[in-house]
Amino acid sequence: MNIINYHQIAERLDEAAFNAKATEQISNYRQLNIEEAYAVQAILIARRYIRGEKLTGLKLGFTSKAKMEQMGVHDMIWGRLTDGMLYKSGDELPKHRFIHPRAEPEIAFLFKKEVDKILHEEDMVSYLEGVAVAIEIIDSRYENFKFSLEDVIADNCSSSGYVIGQWHTPTTPIRDIGINLSVNGTVEQEGNSNAILGNPIESLTAISRLALEHGERIMPGHVVLAGAATSAIFIQKGQHIEAQAEGLGSVNLNVV
Ligand code: OOG
Ligand code: MG
């Protein structure tokens, strides 16, 4: 019997990302459980570290109903971000480097202290440097952007790019604020931050718990994306993509 191992799965996903060419879902050729899917994700990210990329933070996925329903996946997931995925506001995003990229508006947290416990609202001022609006670019490595929960976890939760707006002090209100994504000046997705786990501060609690459970350290300078409050949209060459959140300003990218 020739059972494909975790390294071979990670290699397929890594090459799909690297060559911007979709691969078939793992569930077509190998059954993985959740724990095994996270093991594949760890190998996949290690391949990026070997190429010189550095961990810059973590992200949550499927923290809102809008996202769960759009993708047909109903459990929260977490993945890793690297400096190779980071863009600056106003940057060009070269579409040819991606397979079928989508954009979604996000709320981001910047840490100033290593996370050594499960965080709650009262810890925000001592652990956070700031909060900001962000755009996440997700690009599933699977054909037709279709996956099971295990597939998407192994694929580092579709992480492929992110850009963060100006940081605001951690006391800036982020509960119950409007957040939207526009394309060429027209709002395409609109939501409320409380769509994220009831309120986005819950994602801080969730990621600190998950990171501690999985032995992944959140360090000073690291960023966490809370998970999108709205559905994601496919992006096309020539588009100007902007995310805005009430009281947090805006951030944008130009797809080329
Ligand atoms: C998985 C990533 C989900 C979010 O914010 O919910 C995510 C995907 O939708 O491809 O980043
Ligand atoms: Mg996201």
Q: What is the mean pLDDT of the segment spanning 75-89?
A: 98
Of 141, 156, 12, 140, nearest to 80 by C-alpha is 156
Q: Which residues of 65-86 are buried (b: 16+ CB within 10 A; e: fewer)?
A: ebbbebbebeebbbbbbbeebb
CATH superfamily of 6-255: Fumarylacetoacetase-like, C-terminal domain (3.90.850.10)
| Distance between Cα 61 and ligand 1 center (Å) | 5
The answer, as to whether pTM is greater than 0.95, is: yes
Ligand 1 atom 5, closest CA = 227
* Tens-place pLDDT, residues 141-196: 999 999 999 999 999 999 999 999 999 999 999 999 999 999 999 999 999 999 99
Q: Which pLDDT value is given to residue 2?
A: 60
CA of 98 to the centre of ligand 2 (A): 16
227 lines ligand 1 (CB under 6 A): yes
Give the integer Cα–Cα distance in Å for 35 and 175.
32
Question: Residue 214: what pLDDT?
Answer: 96
pLDDT average, residue stretch 81-91: 98
- For residue 3, what pLDDT is reported? 80
Across the chain, what does the average pLDDT equal? 97
State the distance from the centre of ligand 2 to the C-alpha of 1, rounded, in angstroms: 38
pLDDT at 248 over 80: yes
